[in-house]
Structure 1
């Protein structure tokens, strides 16, 4: 058995529409989460997050702030993978939803008050809670 390390970056992307805040979620195997993907060797984490959001969802977003990271373990064949995912708060700047069918089932804009109940993993809920705190600091969400 060998242990391999993986490093990914992703984003909690928000957009404002008619006084409502929406958060971009992806769905894969009936699990909801945030768009993310592997960081290339020469790439900065922030750049990887922007690229992966675009690749997986078709959406252009800009990084506003770092939210934190999560780590977890999983198995891939005979390997044990120790994965780190670095998340950023990101603002929608353009593009249409166009899910990358090879990677995810769907991408959707979810009203902010429905996001936590849709998220499948506690680690994602923790990142979302940090994102909401940052949005409150930016006066995007009522306290």
Structure 2
């Protein structure tokens, strides 16, 4: 079951810093935030109690590192073309965020000068 990297925000850390750290920990890839994609809120049951979780997602650009699945929480990591993620990810909300990322990557830069 494929999903995007995610984790908790540590004390003193911003959501952006947590995203960069979690991606590095789970995949071995160092990245920098390009854009905010949105947040996913959901509930689950753990140890007989109901837990609410909000996951903030960002579009990152790889700036270094090597792909690795050494994190014990991760079974496998892979580079996957953005266009193929929609058919691979297990969760509907994550597929929606990937479509938003694809639109963002394909859109002309808002800062570029007209020709």
Query: Any idea what the Cα deviations from partners look like across 1:71-117, whole Å, max 9, x if unmatched?
Result: 11111112211110000010011111111341110110012221111
Map of 2:98 onto structure 1 = 128
Going from structure 1 to structure 2, the CA distance change for 1:101 and 1:51 (only over 3 Å counts) comes to closer
Kept in 1, the 8 Å contact 2:33–2:60? The answer is: yes
TM-score by length of 2: 0.89
Name the one with the larger strand percent: 1
Residues of 2 paired with 1:103 and 1:86: CA distance? Answer: 19
CA-CA distance at 1:138 after TM superposition: 4.7
Give the aligned CA root-mean-square deviation in angstroms: 1.2
Map of 1:36 onto structure 2 = 6
Q: Confirm whether residue 100 of structure 1 aligns to residue 95 of structure 2.
A: no
Larger RCO (alpha carbons 8 Å, 6+ apart): 1
Residues of 2 paired with 1:43 and 1:83: CA distance? Answer: 17
Gapped regions of structure 1 (runs ≥ 5) = 1-30
Map of 1:15 onto structure 2 = none
TM-score by length of 1: 0.72
Residues of 1 paired with 2:37 and 2:83: CA distance? Answer: 19
Q: Secondary structure at the match of 2:41?
A: strand
Query: Any idea what the Cα deviations from partners look like across 1:21-56, whole Å, max 9, x if unmatched?
Result: xxxxxxxxxx11111110012111100000000011
Q: Confirm whether residue 67 of structure 1 aligns to residue 30 of structure 2.
A: no
Residues of 1 paired with 2:77 and 2:99: CA distance? Answer: 20
Q: Secondary structure at the match of 2:80?
A: strand
